[in-house]
A and B are shown apart, each in its own frame.
Chain A
């Protein structure tokens, strides 16, 4: 069984700051890792994903994430945040061999960007 941990429930930064949202996972086999964003009152939207290859993955709106097998991590970063980046961010994992490609989500990190 795979698990996902997002250690920070809330992160507050100022507009223009850089930010790192942390995600750690546990699973013994090959997995897909992804990040989703949820604006208030909305559904989740896909940001980026990683399966293999270059451990740094570029996503939309300047977001990127880096996979580390040694740390079992897939942290999300952005160099300069905008107030519109305020949202809840979910890390998710799915075993690559799993029938159904079911995503297991972390509990989310709420990012607040002060203008």
Chain B
């Protein structure tokens, strides 16, 4: 079954540390996205990609980097984690002009 798998499911990180969130899709989709979810804000787009080896900034890219080494994999990198980056992060894939398939989310707590 086609799916989007995120790892880890949850993580506790120290302020100033580096965090990498991983996403793997088996949908054969070209587009992949990283969103963060905060209470009262819905989901906000951080970075996205429509082809391997290329990433684009979303609406709130500051403090985040992204990497798309292959069609299947898309990572979100927090070089210097901050308290304000505590949130739930969702990865999604899409073939374009279609519904998104979301992963189950990564719950990140920065202390």
A100 touches B31 (CB 8 A): yes
A100 touches B50 (CB 8 A): yes
Q: Mark B32-45, 1 if CB is under 8 A from A, else 0.
A: 01010000111111
Q: Mark B71-103, 1 if CB is under 8 A from A, else 0.
A: 000000000000000000010101011111111
**With a CB–CB cut-off of 8 A, which chain A residues contact B56?**
100
B99 touches A43 (CB 8 A): no
A44 at the interface (CB under 8 A from B): yes
With both chains docked as a complex, state the minimum distance between the C-beta of B56 and any C-beta of chain A, in angstroms. 6
Q: Mark A89-115, 1 if CB is under 8 A from B, else 0.
A: 010000010011111111110000000
Q: Mark B51-86, 1 if CB is under 8 A from A, else 0.
A: 000001011000000000000000000000000000
| B8-58, CB < 8 A from A | 31, 33, 35, 40-45, 48, 50, 56, 58
Question: A107 and B102 in contact (CB under 8 A), knowing A44-B90, A96-B97, A102-B58?
Answer: no
**Residue total for A at the interface (Cβ-Cβ under 8 A):** 22
With both chains docked as a complex, state the minimum distance between the C-beta of B88 and any C-beta of chain A, in angstroms. 9
A34, A44, A108 interface centre (most CB from chain B within 10 Å): A44
Partner of B102 from A45, A99, A108 at Cβ < 8 Å: A45
Beyond the given A44-B43, A46-B99, A100-B31, please list 14 additional residue pairs across the A-B interface where CB-CB is below 8 A.
A43-B90, A43-B104, A43-B105, A44-B92, A51-B97, A100-B56, A101-B31, A101-B97, A101-B98, A102-B33, A102-B45, A105-B35, A105-B44, A108-B42
Residues of A within 8 A of B (CB): 32, 34, 36, 42-46, 49, 51, 90, 96, 99-108
